[in-house]
Structure 1
Amino acid sequence: HLIINDVANLIKNGEKITSYQDYDDQFFKESRAQFLPVDFRNIDDYFGGALNYYQHNKFSALQLVWTDRNDKFPWEDGYQEEFIYDQPLLDRNADFKFREAKNLGVFTTRQCLEFNQPILRVVHDHDGDWQFLTGNQEPEDIRLVALEQMILIDSSLNEVFDLDYGQTAERDSINNSWQITNLDE
């Protein structure tokens, strides 16, 4: 709330917020910050309060992004890798919403890869592993691929990018909505 109040005070004092401009030490001690325009495809996933207020998603938004301990932004070389997924960049990444690396190894099925069968079940295991399943696989059908490959096969998988550890999402067909449950249920 303090940061939002600092931004509001700037605006009250007649300053204009400018995208992609460095704001040095104005919001964080010894740290730069920038405002990035949010890609409209990320609005539904991150702006629940505004969606409830406006009752639609046709509004613009800015994201305040700050530097790490080395004064590097997430898109700059040398940014601390441990923080890379803690601050998703909403001006980009709408085609690949997962916070994990694109080359993360995930499990899928031979039926998906070889016969284009749809993914009907997604599991985010307690240990962080991802499984993208067709529902008719046997243990010998399991394949290891890069996470990005799954999104290229089926971009609707982006709808479940925020599954917590120990959750699963299921749908009856590729045209149906995902139903999310806990693995322990």
Structure 2
Amino acid sequence: MAFADAHNTASFSTTKVVREHLPVLMVSHDADGAWQFLDATTDEPGDALLVCMACIYERDQTLEQIADLPLVSAWRQEVGGTWERAENPPEDDDEDDDQAV
């Protein structure tokens, strides 16, 4: 596996990727180090699944192209398509701290 993370690293995916075999079209490597392998059709929390990273990679070895992804997101139009990349916005847990009470 091309990823530096262990094969059994828990990552997030969707029921549509895992059970319906939709392609991974969006990937996020979050600030906390977590990986998300998504199908770009749903953002419903109930569709999320924890899966091992190697299981996702075995389904689609073209994910090797983004194995070096720093803390950013990537997306493509189709399997084998060119990955576009963008930095993830910083997570701000103190959004309300800046607002006057």
User: Normalising to structure 2: TM-score of the pair?
Assistant: 0.84
Aligned residue for 1:91? none
Shift of 1:122: 0.3
Q: Which residue in the other structure is 2:23 paired with?
A: 118
Q: Give the number of the structure whose residues are more often strand, by fraction.
A: 2
> Within 2, Cα distance between the matches of 1:175 and 1:104?
24
Gaps of 5+ in 2: 91-101
Query: Is 2:52 the partner of 1:149?
Result: no
1:132 equivalent to 2:18? Answer no
Q: Are residues 1:98 and 2:3 paired?
A: yes
Deviation (angstroms), 1:175: 3.0
Identity of aligned residues (%): 31
Paired letter, 1:157 = L
Query: Which consecutive residues of structure 1, in runs of 5 or more, have no partner in the other structure?
Result: 1-95
Where does residue 181 of structure 1 map in the other structure? 86
Mapped partners of 2:61, 2:80: distance in 1: 12
Question: Which of the two has higher C-alpha Rg?
Answer: 1
Alignment of 1:1-185 (within 5 A): 96-137=1-42, 138-165=44-71, 167-184=72-89
Match of 2:2, SS state, is coil
Matches of 1:175 and 1:110 in 2, distance apart? Answer: 21
- Aligned equivalents of 2:89 and 2:4: distance in 1? 24
Q: Using CA pairs below 8 Å that are at least 6 residues apart, which structure has the higher relative contact order?
A: 2
TM-score where L is the length of structure 1: 0.47
CA distance in structure 1 between the aligned counterparts of 2:66 and 2:76, rounded to whole angstroms: 11
CA distance in 2, matches of 1:161, 1:176: 15
Q: How far apart are residue 174 of structure 1 and its match?
A: 1.0
Figure out how many residues of one structure are paired with residues of the other and give that number: 89
1-side partners of 2:19 and 2:53: how far apart?
17
